[in-house]
């Protein structure tokens, strides 16, 4: 009887292993851990902007992702397409928490996982406040610890509520395309329509990897200008007073995502490690 039980267990183990290895949709548990490694324990030293009050925040202190604040954009629900930027990941809906997005010890963790590799062989998440929360003017800031590596493309950004891109405007508070010195570099950019798509922006190169510690990525937005900050450093200031930039005088909603590949960063290579993690301690809006 004992031998028969052992044989049954072995057969079940073999079948389960074959089923797991043949999956093309989920991460391989052998090298894609569900629990992310802990981010830096550095103290939070952020000081609220003078003369402004906190009007909205997500501190990610609950047991799961707050779906009153966020929803997911995926190809399945028709709100995202990998063809937009030739990205290789496929975004998933993780509800209040799943393999690609969850709350861990008061931190939102967005995970890029490798399944089969190549175009379509990665999963990740893209969270938005569209249809739930949007703002015009103020200070929008997040405390984040970024991923790293060739082909890794995290972003903290905003899109206008009205119109189609680029006529609705785009505000990129933070983008990073990983690999070598790019792991140290944050980009801030605005996009709008004036006959054709126009972009303005700049970047800042930090002395260490942005994955090594927490940093503040901030937008100060007034009727006349947008100033983008990395910690206490001004990355870029754009004048938005021109009538041709009317896009930037409407409400915008927030997006947080972690892309893999794409036309700007290029694909991951043999040096790129998976899984990759975008940690978000909190997001706040002041006016």
The pLDDT tens digits of the residues spanning 95-140 come to 999 999 999 999 999 999 999 999 999 999 999 999 999 999 999 9
Q: How confident is the model at residue 40 (pLDDT cuts 50, 70, 90)?
A: confident
Kindly state whether residue 12 falls inside one of the protein's structural domains.
Answer: no
On whether residue 24 sits in a domain, the answer given is no
> Taking Cα atoms as reference points, which of 175, 159, 154, 142 lies closest to residue 60?
142
Q: Is residue 16 part of a domain?
A: no
Q: In this structure, what CATH number is given to the domain that contains residue 181?
A: 2.60.120.200
Give the C-alpha separation, 171 to 157, whole Å.
6
Q: Please, which residues bridge with residue 174 across strands?
A: 156
The whole-number pLDDT of residue 35 equals 57
1 domain residue, yes or no: no
| Residue 172 falls inside a structural domain | yes
> What's the CA gap between 184 and 205, in Å, rounded?
5
Element (H, E) at 234: strand 233-239
Bridge partners of 123? 90, 113
175 is catalytic: yes
Which of the following is catalytic: 73, 87, 170, 247? Answer: 170
Provide the 8-state DSSP code for 207: S
Q: Is residue 30 part of a domain?
A: no
Average pLDDT value over all residues in the chain: 90
Counting the structural domains of the chain, the total is 1
In the residue annotation, 164 being an active-site residue is answered as no
In tens, the pLDDT along 237-256 reads 999 999 999 999 999 999 99
pLDDT digits (tens, 9 = 90+) for 174-222: 999 999 999 999 999 999 999 999 999 999 999 999 999 999 999 999 9
Question: In terms of DSSP bridges, do strands 138-145 and 233-239 run parallel, antiparallel, or are they unpaired?
Answer: unpaired
Over residues 62-83, the mean pLDDT reads: 96
Residue 60's domain comprises 52-286
Report if residue 20 sits inside a domain.
no
Annotated active-site residue in 4, 73, 87, 175: 175
DSSP state of 135: B
**Domain for residue 47, yes or no?**
no
Query: What pTM did the predictor assign?
Result: 0.88
Among 28-37, 84-93, 154-163, the range scoring the smallest mean pLDDT is 28-37
């Amino acid at each position: 009887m004992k031998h028969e039980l052992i044989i049954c267990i072995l057969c079940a183990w073999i079948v389960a292993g074959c089923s797991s290895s043949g999956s093309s949709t989920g991460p391989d548990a052998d090298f894609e851990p569900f629990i992310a490694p802990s981010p830096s324990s550095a103290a939070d030293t952020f000081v609220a902007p003078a003369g402004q009050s906190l009007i909205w925040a997500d501190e990610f202190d609950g047991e799961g992702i707050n779906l009153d604040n966020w929803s997911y954009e995926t190809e399945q629900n028709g709100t995202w397409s990998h063809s937009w930027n030739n990205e290789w990941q496929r975004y998933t809906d993780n509800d209040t928490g799943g393999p690609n997005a969850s709350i861990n010890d008061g931190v939102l963790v967005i995970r890029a996982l490798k399944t089969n590799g190549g175009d379509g062989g990665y999963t990740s998440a893209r969270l938005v406040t569209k249809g739930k929360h949007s703002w015009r003017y103020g200070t929008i800031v997040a405390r984040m610890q970024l991923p790293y590596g060739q082909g890794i493309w995290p972003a903290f950004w905003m899109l206008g509520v009205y119109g189609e891109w680029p006529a609705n405007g785009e505000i990129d508070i933070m983008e990073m395309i990983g690999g070598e010195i790019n792991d140290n570099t944050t980009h801030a950019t605005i996009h709008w329509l004036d006959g054709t798509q126009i972009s303005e922006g700049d970047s800042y190169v930090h002395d260490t990897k942005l994955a090594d510690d927490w940093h503040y990525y901030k937008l100060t937005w007034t009727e006349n200008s947008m100033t983008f900050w990395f910690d206490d450093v001004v990355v870029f200031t754009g004048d938005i007073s021109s009538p041709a930039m009317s896009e930037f005088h409407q409400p915008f909603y927030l997006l947080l995502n972690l892309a893999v590949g794409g036309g700007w960063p290029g694909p991951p290579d043999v040096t790129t490690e998976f899984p990759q993690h975008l940690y978000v301690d909190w997001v706040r809006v002041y006016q």
